């Protein structure tokens, strides 16, 4: 199961859980009609209770989970935008809004089971999950990875990297707890942009077929450009925006491998390490690289194109790009992994 996460401090996380499905969400009561979307109110009998939910749009499904003292209506401004490209479902969690209010079952695992039962009832094998506040906790429980410990700021972004291969963190400055209400001009475009990204499957990280095995061992820059590119996969830092091309081997399996990484401009990568012994060459741009257990700009060394460096096993390091993207070729002996300092392994 693939996960990817987008974090907006304070207390606001997207946990995207793979794939795509289509649903026919007809019927119900029309609550809002706008040129770009019609939001419909529906009910479903799931997990022993009556769950109310809003629905809009068609396409890859996205499930929006509201926060404490709120209900599905908090998501209506976002729903009208996401419904242009997605089927959007926003339930009232048990005990909230128009959903049933049983005496028990308010632990986040049970609430996640409610959401999963709703997704299954609607025919979704996989869906992207967006959670705010306690909805974030339910989203983590849905992913069966984290307990939903509440956090904020950069720490919450790092939490996301514990369960994600594609993390994009944004700290909304000058805001309090209710981001959808306080900063919609910042939050909604970021959410729409993130959710409109094509899902990236690290299993697809294989070298594209060549005319012969010998051709696959002799790659020109043009050849490399024709190979499959995915997001931040195994053996990378996991930061959103990184493009990975496998040139040889497979970093997720045993044996030698080489990957080509394109890191966007103005990207900061916090301290992390890898289990395997690696060496790297900077192909283009200037790569600012340093060793240590926390990011320290003073410890960075500017490595121009043609520079070489090593990453010994389990040695923390960090990096940064500035005004230009950087391409780096990394060679190691898989299976590789990524662990941020003080965290568990990303993959």
For 114, list phi and psi in degrees, rounded to 5.
Answer: -60, -45
Q: What 3-state DSSP class applies to 23? A: coil
Percent of the chain's residues with pLDDT above 90: 48
Write down the CATH superfamily of domain 3-195. Answer: Alpha/Beta hydrolase fold, catalytic domain (3.40.50.1820)
* CA angle (75 as vertex; 71, 28 as ends), nearest 5: 75
Query: Does 180 or 36 have the greater pLDDT score?
Result: 180
- Express each pLDDT in 281-314 by its tens digit: 999 999 999 999 999 999 999 999 999 999 999 9
pLDDT per residue as tens digits for the range 151-160: 455 656 666 6
Residue 206 pLDDT more than 50? Answer: no
Interval 21-59: pLDDT, tens: 223 333 444 444 445 679 999 999 999 999 999 999 999
Pick one of 3.90.79.10, 1.10.150.130, 2.60.120.10, 2.120.10.30 as the CATH number of 202-340: 2.60.120.10
Q: What is the rounded distance in angstroms from the CA atom of residue 347 to the CA atom of residue 158? A: 14
Residue 54 DSSP symbol: E
- Residues 7 and 155: their CA atoms lie apart, in Å, by 10
Nearest to 229 by CA among 239, 242, 238: 242
Phi, psi of 20 (to 5 degrees): -150, 150
* Structure tokens that stand for 133 in this block: 């506040």
Helices (H), the chain: 76-82, 108-121, 134-143, 153-161, 179-182, 184-195, 213-216, 221-226
Exposure string over 218-253, b if 16+ CB within 10 A, otherwise e:
ebeeeebeebebbbbbbbbbbbbbbbbbbbebbbbe
DSSP 224-267: HHHS--BSS-TTS--BTT-EEEEEES-TTSSEEEEEEEEE-TT-
Strands 49-56 and 60-65: unpaired
Give 127-162 as a DSSP string: EEEEEETHHHHHHHHHHTS-------HHHHHHHHHT
Contact call for residues 49 and 114 (beta carbons, < 8 A):
yes
Sequence ranges of the domains in the chain: 3-195, 202-340
Residue 15 CA to residue 19 CA, distance in Å, equals 13
With a cut of 60, say whether residue 119 has pLDDT above it: yes
Residues 6 or more apart whose Cβ sits within 8 Å of residue 322? 265, 266, 286, 288
Per-residue pLDDT tens over the stretch 132-179:
989 988 987 887 543 333 445 565 666 666 655 566 777 776 665 667
């Amino acid at each position: 199961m693939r996960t990817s996460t987008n974090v907006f401090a304070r207390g606001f996380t997207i946990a995207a859980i793979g794939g795509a499905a289509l649903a026919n969400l007809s019927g119900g009561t029309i609550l809002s009609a706008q040129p770009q979307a019609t939001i419909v109110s529906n009910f479903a009998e799931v997990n022993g209770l009556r769950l109310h939910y809003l629905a809009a749009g068609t396409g890859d499904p996205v499930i929006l989970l509201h926060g404490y003292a709120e209900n599905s209506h908090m998501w209506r401004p976002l729903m009208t935008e996401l419904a242009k490209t997605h089927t959007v479902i926003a339930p009232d969690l048990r005990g909230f809004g128009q959903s049933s209010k049983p005496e028990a079952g308010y632990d986040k695992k049970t609430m996640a089971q409610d959401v999963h039962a709703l997704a299954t009832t609607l025919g979704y094998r996989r869906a992207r999950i967006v959670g705010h506040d306690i909805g974030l906790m339910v989203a983590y429980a849905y992913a069966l990875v984290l307990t939903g410990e509440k956090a904020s700021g950069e720490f919450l972004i790092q939490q996301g990297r514990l369960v994600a291969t594609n993390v994009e963190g944004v700290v909304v400055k000058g805001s309090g707890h209710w981001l959808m209400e306080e900063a919609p001009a910042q939050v909604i475009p970021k959410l729409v942009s993130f959710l409109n990204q094509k899902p990236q499957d690290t299993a697809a990280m294989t070298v594209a077929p060549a005319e012969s095995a010998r051709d696959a061992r002799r790659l020109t820059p043009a050849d490399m450009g024709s190979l499959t590119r995915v997001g931040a996969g195994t053996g990378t830092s996991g930061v959103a925006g990184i493009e990975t091309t496998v040139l040889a081997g497979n970093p997720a399996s045993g044996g030698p491998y080489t990957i080509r990484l394109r890191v966007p401009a103005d990207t900061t990568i916090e301290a992390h390490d890898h289990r395997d012994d690696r060496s790297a060459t900077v192909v283009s741009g200037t790569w600012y690289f340093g060793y240590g257990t926390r990011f320290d700009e003073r410890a960075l060394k500017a490595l121009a194109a043609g520079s070489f460096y090593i990453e010994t096993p389990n040695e923390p390091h960090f990096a940064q790009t500035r005004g230009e993207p950087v391409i780096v070729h990394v060679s190691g002996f898989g299976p590789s992994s990524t662990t941020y300092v003080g965290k568990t392994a990303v993959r």
